[in-house]
Amino acid sequence: MLIGNTEVVDSFAEAFGMRYTRLLVTAEDEFWLDAALREFTGYGSSVISCDLEIGVERLVGPTESPDGRPGASVLAFGFHVDAIGKAMANRVGQCIMTCPSTAIFDGLDDPELEHFPLGKQIRFFGDGFQKSKVIGGDRFWRIPVMDGEFTICDIGHVAKGVAGGNIIIQGRTLRATLDAARRGVEAIAPLEGSITPFPGGVARSGSKVGSRYKGLKASTSDSYCPTLRGRVDSKLHEAANCALEIVVDGISEAAVATAMTAAMQAATGDNIVAITAGNYGGQLGKYHFHLRQLLSAMK
């Protein structure tokens, strides 16, 4: 299948079932909101080594946010509720409560879902001066801080999601591949229900399972490394000199499929010779996203 001059390889991305939470962060203005989000979502690219895969889902205007201020919806993915809860408490305490003017709210307010303690745990920072208030059946904590009070939801909820959807963009030059990857990430940005957790939404260090070094869970995806041509079984297009990966996590299989499709359509170009995806032969991940099927479904 060709889109312009770009070949879409007959392959599939292999993704995994994971848990996710959605939290809404608000602040007095866009400057402090951005400051909080940069801290909150840092070091959150891959659960291979990070505590969460985390990113901004979308910005929320004052008319939508719980307290009428600028805000953002943040999605965070982990393997189980306890891991998410521990990581969220640490990140909120260190990155949101410390940032001037911020507040945080549960974005999955569904009593049927599993949940983890958030304000219930962080409230102790108030050293006995904290106060709770129930609004509309939901409990919030008001923790005294030096600019007034930090408002935080008592608990956060967790739902089932999908992580690890991906496309691998292969270009003739680094510049062309960088530009294509950026177009792909920008096409995903306005879509609800998905995030691209790597730096700028893009991973250059794609990985394979395992390593020749004992104890290492993952190592470089040598089949996509242009400098290893001739030494390994390369999966690079013969005209490609660079490959970059966009990894997608979403609240559902449909959300990941929509994001991957948008990214593929945006990433094609004259100097993008191929788009493929990373998988493990279908042996590890429950969800298989076949690239050509995704594009055909959009016609």
pLDDT in tens, 111-162: 899 999 999 999 999 999 999 999 888 999 999 999 999 999 999 999 999 9
Q: Kindly state whether residues 253 and 167 are assigned to the same domain.
A: yes
Q: Kindly state whether residues 104 and 152 are assigned to the same domain.
A: yes
DSSP state of 96: I
Say how many domains are in the chain.
Answer: 2
Q: What angle do CA 53, 298, 15 make, to 5 degrees?
A: 25
- In 230-290, which ranges are continuous DSSP H helix? 253-267
What gap in Å lies between CA 247 and CA 107, rounded to an integer? 23
**pLDDT score at 275:** 98
Q: Kindly state whether residues 167 and 222 are assigned to the same domain.
A: yes
Q: Closest Cα partner for 192 from 265, 261, 250?
A: 250
Q: Kindly state whether residues 61 and 134 are assigned to the same domain.
A: yes
Domain that holds residue 167: 2-15+162-297
Q: Kindly state whether residues 10 and 134 are assigned to the same domain.
A: no
Q: Kindly state whether residues 250 and 153 are assigned to the same domain.
A: no
Q: If DSSP codes are grouped into helix, strand and coil, which group holds residue 69?
A: coil
What gap in Å lies between CA 142 and CA 228, rounded to an integer? 56
Count of alpha carbons within 13 angstroms of residue 44, beta-carbon side:
26
pLDDT at residue 282 greater than cutoff 90: no
Look up the pTM and report it.
0.94
CATH number of the domain enclosing 111: 3.30.70.520
pLDDT in tens, 42-95: 999 999 999 999 999 999 999 999 999 999 999 999 999 999 999 999 999 999
pLDDT in tens, 162-219: 999 999 999 999 999 999 999 999 999 999 999 999 999 999 999 988 899 998 989 9
Q: Kindly state whether residues 87 and 212 are assigned to the same domain.
A: no
Q: Kindly state whether residues 142 and 252 are assigned to the same domain.
A: no
Residues of the chain with pLDDT > 70, as a percent, come to 100
> What are the DSSP E strand ranges found in 107-182?
114-117, 131-135, 138-145, 148-153, 155-171
Burial grade of 135 (CB within 10 A; 0-12, 13-18, 19 or more): exposed
55's tokens: 């990113």
Q: Kindly state whether residues 84 and 154 are assigned to the same domain.
A: yes
46's tokens: 């891959």
Q: Which of 159, 187, 219 is the last residue before a domain boundary?
A: 159
Q: Are 19 and 159 in contact (CB under 8 A)?
A: yes
Please list, in sequence order, all residues whose beta carbon lies within 8 angstroms of the beta carbon of residue 97, skipping any fewer than 6 positions away.
122, 125, 143, 145, 150, 152
Strand 207-209 relative to strand 138-145, pairing: unpaired
**pLDDT score at 80:** 96
Residues comprising the chain, all counted? 299
Q: Kindly state whether residues 142 and 248 are assigned to the same domain.
A: no
What gap in Å lies between CA 234 and CA 225, rounded to an integer? 8
Q: Kindly state whether residues 218 and 232 are assigned to the same domain.
A: yes
pLDDT in tens, 214-269: 989 899 999 999 999 999 999 999 999 999 999 999 999 999 999 999 999 999 99
pLDDT at residue 298 greater than cutoff 80: no
pLDDT at residue 299 greater than cutoff 70: no
pLDDT at residue 109 greater than cutoff 90: no
What are the phi and psi torsion angles at 92 (to 5°)?
-65, -45
Strand 131-135 relative to strand 138-145, pairing: antiparallel
What gap in Å lies between CA 129 and CA 256, rounded to an integer? 44
